Amino acid sequence: MQAFLLLAVVASAVAALFDLRTREIPNWVSLGTLVVGIAAHVGYGAARVDGMAGLRAGGMALVGALACGLVPFVFWQKGAFGGGDVKMMAAVGACLMPLDGIEAEFYALICAAVVAPAQLAWEGKLLKTLGNVATIVLNPLRPKAKRKEVPVEAMTQLRFGPAIFVGALLCAVVHWRDRL
């Protein structure tokens, strides 16, 4: 149904605006969308078929949230993503269900992979950042005495909220006609 695509796009647009302005995605956007997405799937399934169909739809929405939150959660544990990014990606997964949610996440990650180097080059930080990435990747292969630390202040933070919006929007464009 198109309403779920629209919910994911609108919520991720709001999240992107907050992320660009404040570097944070408020919980009322991410967790609110997560709850509304699951509840709406339960209600829609129950109204169209029966209560069990509603529970199955809600369960699949929950699976979508977990599936879409997994990769950002791992990145968050490594310090590469913020907690708002994890919650927002889970919310998109709840709205779009597992397959479309993962598709939106894939689009978001591709968007970030394309935009991040361009942004870093524009800011004159690309080569330094690539050097830091190489250090982080190669450190586990080096003997402990020869490992190099990358100071936190040398790390570059990029906002992922806009990429989540682009991913949700692309998924909506691709699937809009399927949902008529």
Give counts: helices (H), strands (E), the chain: 6, 0
State the Cα–Cα distance between residues 138 and 148, nearest whole angstrom.
9
Closest CA to 95 of 177, 169, 19, 18: 169
Matching residue, tokens 């806009």: 162
pLDDT score, position 153: 67
pLDDT tens sequence for the chain (180 residues): 799 999 999 999 999 999 999 999 999 999 999 999 999 999 999 888 788 888 999 999 999 999 999 999 998 887 788 999 999 999 999 999 999 999 999 999 999 999 989 988 998 888 888 888 888 888 888 888 878 887 766 677 788 999 999 999 999 999 998 876
CB atoms closer than 10 angstroms to residue 33: 25
State the Cα–Cα distance between residues 94 and 66, nearest whole angstrom.
8
Q: Are 112 and 158 in contact (CB under 8 A)?
A: yes
Q: What is the DSSP letter of 46?
A: H
Q: Are 21 and 177 in contact (CB under 8 A)?
A: no
pLDDT digits (tens, 9 = 90+) for 66-109: 999 999 999 888 778 899 999 999 999 999 999 999 999 999 99
Closest CA to 7 of 42, 40, 43, 48: 40
pLDDT digits (tens, 9 = 90+) for 79-88: 788 999 999 9
pLDDT score, position 143: 85
